[in-house]
Amino acid sequence: MTNSEIRAEFGKRLKFLRKFRKMSQWDLSRQSGIDRAYISEIENGRSAATIDLINRMARAMDLYPSEFLVFGRELPQYSYESKPISDISTENLTKKH
């Protein structure tokens, strides 16, 4: 994979996880302290997230940081504290936005 392909896949995964948590870009921005426009750039593959930003987004979404590196539509397995995620609802994920 090229760097741009990795950025694109990471952005898709970020958007998928954000929607899984039923968060808007604004919600994630407020809870992580990352500018909403920068989150949009990451989701669209135009910018790359640093490890520090991944950690801040993971904490804000209560997801284990490695969940961001599982490309595709696989549902997350662990919270930020490495606890299994249960009662997963996919209703919000199947809607087209």
> Domain limits of the chain?
3-72
How far apart CA 3 and CA 1 sit, in angstroms, is 7
Residue 57's contacts (CB-CB under 8 Å, 6 or more residues apart) are 14, 28, 32, 34, 39, 49, 68
Digitized pLDDT (tens) for each residue of the chain, 97 residues in all? 899 999 999 999 999 999 999 999 999 999 999 999 999 999 999 999 999 999 999 999 999 999 999 887 788 888 888 888 864 444 444 444 4
pLDDT at 1: 85
Structural fold of domain 3-72:
434 Repressor (Amino-terminal Domain) (1.10.260)
| Closest C-alpha among 2, 18, 16, 28 to residue 72 | 16
pLDDT at 91: 43
pLDDT at 20: 93
- Cβ atoms of 73 and 58 within 8 Å: the answer is no
| Closest C-alpha among 2, 92, 89, 16 to residue 57 | 16
pLDDT at 49: 96
